[in-house]
Amino acid sequence: MKKLAIKVNLITGRSIQQGVSMEGGKEKPAYTAACGIIELDPAEFKRLGTYRNTNVRVTSEYGSVIVKAVEATQGPHPGVAYIPMGPWANMVINPNTYSTGMPTFKGTPVEVEIAKNGQVLDSLDLVRKACRGEVV
Amino acid sequence: MTKTVTDVVCPFCGTLCDDLEVVVSDDGKQLLEVYNACAIGAEKFLHSQAEDRLTRPRLQQEDGSWKDVTYDEAIEYTAQMLASSTKPLMYGWSSTNCEAQGVGSEIGEITGAVMDNTATVCHGTSLIAVQDIGIPHCTLGEVKNRADRVVFWGCNPAHAHPRHMSRYSIFPRGFFTGKGHKGRKVIVIDPRKTDTANVADVHLQIEQGRDYELLDALRVAFKGLPLPDVVAGIPKEQIYEAAEVLKSGRFVIIFFGMGVTQSLGKNHNIDEAIAVTRDLNEYTKAAIMPMRGHYNVTGSGAVWGWQFGFPFAVDLSRGFARYNPGETTSNDLLRRGEVDSVFVLGSDPGAHFPFSSVKKISELPSVCIDPHQTPTTAVCKLHVPVAFVGVEIGGCAYRMDNVPIETRKVVEAPEGMMTDEEFLEKVLVRIKEIKGE
């Protein structure tokens, strides 16, 4: 059976938890808890058919990453998903700069599917393993 | 007995709050408490005291393990890497003081490096727009004392610049703004109902990536000309209303952030935002200001502007300064494989660059100067921990409105730790020796 995937428009940005945990140490679990997430609207959870706090795989044309799906804290924003800025978001955002130098961090079409057994890696591990080609 | 240091400057965001109070131990070696700071600023000060903090440079081995090295060895490694590179990328420069940026620029000149700062993934597109059509600017002091119409476009200071609203933009009572927030009208334009939008009078929940259209619609509405029924997801009535609110103000300030600079359209979005500000000046006084992120990204732009004529993406590899965003910007250089080593100071591209660029860094000879362990240090060959600027060493930093503020030293760095500037100066001396200058 084909897995159910929903399509959303991904944006990234700062959250205060991202800022605090970043200054507290990016190797710590608090940073993963703050940034290894995707904020979705309640309607999106219904479409996906899953509970809050489930791990999901987010995939775009540019990459894929496993994060935890949580309910949007600054919503509602139907059709828009939010991953706080950090290595998790950067696995999937559109890196093209279109001759401006600026990667397109906001507005990447992504697919979200349930990945209950997927593990959310910590930031150092994620980047290290991805560089070695150990995560897909 | 403890001592309280007052008027401490916070080295986190571009708001550069200068009213912090920090309690330190009698011998000045331990930082105990932080007052007046936001959650992020307080964490930055307190994290400098972490017991697991690294205090010596370390070299990554083939198997991924780390070997401690001395500062002298780290200086030699860095100097050799930069001196032997044809076109090194020297990136970061935003979480350090202007003094270190000055020394770094000299190294860049001698080694023919490309110098780029975090504006490249932040307000680089704003800088391009400013070069296109100029900018009606003001200081945060003027905002506090005069602004009665405040616009936050694609930015969320409640999270990214937590004390901005209370110190300058919404809540403070100023000379001509005696009623504080009651005398101000706040408009937020954001695709999410952010915590900033919750304290605004008007929230226009724009369709993501349609900023240019809405900015253009505002210019039409100022002139009272006809609009389509809906623009960028906003009904035209709301746009006319917002235009009236802005025109009726005595002083309009537009703050803008990553929502406009990183969405498609990029520098053209900012062109249009500046054009809105220019148009508003036909009816009232208006100014526009980028919400700069790092506490001294503005400073690195100022230092390079003064030294090379360009605020970011400065290519010195031909012996003179060239600037061409899209070509001489970090992510383009990395993805196209046009640099042969990477030196990072005062930033974390490992966490904040697209992964395709991070992978390239991991494949190149690389040095990272950073007090923290970060995804960048995880993929770099050499990691040099240094003293925290603004906590363990002072120095000049530029606030988001281009006002220079001298940061303060409040505690001693752990014994034997170097500062950014000391490390760079030694690297510079060594590179001169290697190059025979």
Cα torsion B373, B378, B381, B383 to 10°: value is 0
pLDDT recorded at residue B361: 97
3-state SS, residue B295: coil
What is the separation of C-alpha B94 from the centre of its chain, rounded to a whole number of angstroms? 6
3-state SS, residue B166: helix
Nearest partner of B312 among B436, B51, B131, B168, judged by Cα: B131
Does any CB of chain A come closer than 8 Å to the CB of residue B330? yes
Does any CB of chain A come closer than 8 Å to the CB of residue B195? yes
pLDDT band (50, 70, 90) for residue A135: confident
Report how far residue A125's alpha carbon sits from residue A134's, in angstroms, rounded to the nearest whole number.
Answer: 10
Q: Do A13 and B193 touch (CB under 8 A)?
A: no
Q: Please give the average per-residue pLDDT across B60-70, as a whole number.
A: 94
Mutation pick from B12, B13, B15, B40 vs chain A, by most beta carbons of A within 10 Å, is B40
**What are the distances in angstroms from CA B151 to CA B207, B235, B246, B256?**
17, 18, 9, 8
Amino acid at B230: V
pLDDT recorded at residue B1: 87
B351 contacts in A (CB within 8 Å)? Answer: 22, 26, 85-87, 90, 123, 127
Residue B432, min C-alpha distance to chain A (Å): 31
Classify the complex by whether its ipTM is higher than 0.90, answering yes or no: yes
Q: Where are the alpha helices (DSSP H) in B147-210?
A: 157-160, 164
Report the DSSP pairing between strands B114-117 and B314-315: antiparallel
Residue A2, min C-alpha distance to chain B (Å): 28
pLDDT band (50, 70, 90) for residue A74: very high
pTM across the whole model: 0.96
Cα torsion A47, A53, A57, A61 to 10°: value is 70
Report how far residue B122's alpha carbon sits from residue B127's, in angstroms, rounded to the nearest whole number.
Answer: 10
Taking one residue from A and the other from B, the number of pairs with CB-CB distance under 8 angstroms is 183
Burial A46-57 (b: 16+ CB within 10 A, else e): ebbebeeeebbb
Residue B108, min C-alpha distance to chain A (Å): 20
Q: Is the pLDDT of residue A1 over 60?
A: no
Q: Do A74 and B50 touch (CB under 8 A)?
A: no
pLDDT digits over A113-124, tens only? 999 899 999 999
Spatial contact of B408 and B9, defined as CB atoms under 8 Å apart: yes
Q: Please give the average per-residue pLDDT across B229-239, as a whole number.
A: 98
Q: Which of A26, A94, A103 sits opposite B373 (nearest CB)?
A: A26
Q: Please give the average per-residue pLDDT across A78-107, as a whole number.
A: 97
pLDDT digits over A24-37, tens only? 999 999 999 999 99
pLDDT band (50, 70, 90) for residue B48: very high
CB atoms within 10 A of CB B403: 13
pLDDT recorded at residue A4: 86
Q: Do A14 and B209 touch (CB under 8 A)?
A: no
Report the DSSP pairing between strands B20-25 and B31-35: antiparallel
Name residues 218-257 of chain B within 8 A of A (Cβ): none
pLDDT digits over B279-325, tens only? 999 999 999 999 999 999 999 999 999 999 999 999 999 999 999 99
Q: Which DSSP string do the residues of B298-312 spell out, in sequence order?
A: HHHHHHHHHHTS-SS
Among residues of chain B, what percentage have pLDDT more than 70? 100
CB atoms within 10 A of CB B74: 24
Q: Which of B159, B332, B359 sits opposite A131 (nearest CB)?
A: B359
Question: Residue with structure tokens 């119409």?
Answer: B149
pLDDT recorded at residue A2: 58
Q: Where are the alpha helices (DSSP H) in B9-123?
A: 39-47, 71-84, 98-111
CATH number, domain at A102?
2.40.40.20
pLDDT digits over B423-433, tens only? 999 999 999 99
Q: Please give the average per-residue pLDDT across B94-122, as a whole number.
A: 97
pLDDT digits over B136-169, tens only? 999 999 999 999 999 999 999 999 999 999 999 9
A14 contacts in B (CB within 8 Å)? Answer: 156, 159-160, 258, 293
Q: Which residues contact B348 (CB under 8 A, 6 or more apart)?
A: A26, B370, B372, B374, B375, B376
pLDDT recorded at residue A136: 67
Q: Please give the average per-residue pLDDT across B8-22, as a whole number.
A: 97
Spatial contact of A108 and A10, defined as CB atoms under 8 Å apart: yes
Residue B127, min C-alpha distance to chain A (Å): 11
Residue-range definition of the domain harbouring residue A127: 5-132
pLDDT digits over A13-27, tens only? 999 999 999 999 999
What does the mean pLDDT of chain B come to? 97
Domain count, chain A: 1
Question: Residue with structure tokens 């200068």?
Answer: B18
Question: E strands of B157-278, at which residues?
Answer: 185-189, 202-204, 230-231, 234-235, 251-256
Mutation pick from B374, B376, B380 vs chain A, by most beta carbons of A within 10 Å, is B374
Report how far residue B401's alpha carbon sits from residue B152's, in angstroms, rounded to the nearest whole number.
Answer: 15
Classify residue B229 by its DSSP letter. S
Report how far residue B76's alpha carbon sits from residue B55's, in angstroms, rounded to the nearest whole number.
Answer: 18
**What are the distances in angstroms from CA A75 to CA A70, A113, B289?**
12, 21, 26
pLDDT digits over B339-387, tens only? 999 999 999 999 999 999 999 999 999 999 999 999 999 999 999 999 9
CB atoms within 10 A of CB A61: 10
Q: Which of B159, B263, B359 sits opposite A106 (nearest CB)?
A: B263
B373 contacts in A (CB within 8 Å)? Answer: 25-27, 124
Helix orientation angle between A16-24 and B39-47, rounded to the nearest 10 degrees: 10
Mutation pick from B352, B363, B364, B366 vs chain A, by most beta carbons of A within 10 Å, is B352
